[in-house]
Amino acid sequence: MLNALTVDVEDWYHTSGLDIPRGEWDHLKSTVFPNTIKLLNLFDEFKVKATFFILGDVARRYPSLITEIVERGHEIGGHSMNHQLISKQTFEEFKVDFQESVRLLESITNQKIRYFRAPSWSISSDKLEILHFLEQNGIQIDSSLQPFKTPLSGINGIPLEPFIPILNNKKMNLIEFPPTVIRLSKKCIIPFAGGFYLRFFPYKVIKYLLNKVNLKRTGMVYIHPWELNADIPKRNSSLVIKFIQYYNLSSTEGKLRKLLTDFNFAPIGQVIKFRDIKHKHI
Residues 6 or more apart whose CB falls under 8 angstroms from that of 69 comprise 9, 36, 40, 52, 54, 76
Question: CB of 101 within 8 A of CB of 86?
Answer: no
Look up the CATH number of the domain holding residue 42: 3.20.20.370
pLDDT at 260: 98
pTM above 0.75, yes or no: yes
Residues 6 or more apart whose CB falls under 8 angstroms from that of 119 comprise 16, 55, 79, 80, 83, 84, 85, 86
pLDDT at 181: 98
Range(s) of the domain holding residue 212: 2-281
Residue 219 DSSP symbol? -
CA distance 53 to 117: 7
Label residue 270 exposed, middle or buried (CB < 10 Å: 0-12, 13-18, 19+): middle
Label residue 66 exposed, middle or buried (CB < 10 Å: 0-12, 13-18, 19+): buried
Q: Helices 203-214 and 252-262, interaxial angle, to 10°?
A: 30
pLDDT at 185: 84
CA distance 99 to 80: 8
pLDDT at 153: 87
pLDDT at 270: 97
Residue 231 DSSP symbol? T
pLDDT at 121: 96
pLDDT at 151: 81
pLDDT at 237: 92
Q: Hey, CA dihedral for 77, 81, 82, 87, is it positive or negative? A: negative
Q: What is the pLDDT along the chain (282 residues), one digit of tens a residue?
A: 999 999 999 999 999 999 999 999 999 999 999 999 999 999 999 999 999 999 999 999 999 999 999 999 999 999 999 999 999 999 999 999 999 999 999 999 999 999 999 999 999 999 999 999 999 999 999 999 999 998 888 999 999 999 999 999 999 999 999 999 999 887 889 999 999 999 999 999 999 999 999 999 999 999 999 999 989 999 999 999 999 999 999 999 999 999 999 999 999 999 999 788 999 999
Cα-based distances in Å from 34 to 11, 30, 227, 229: 11, 9, 12, 10
Structurally, the chain folds into a number of domains equal to 1
pLDDT at 186: 78
pLDDT at 275: 86
- Going by C-alpha positions, the residue among 181, 203, 205, 183 that lies closest to residue 191 is 181
pLDDT at 134: 98
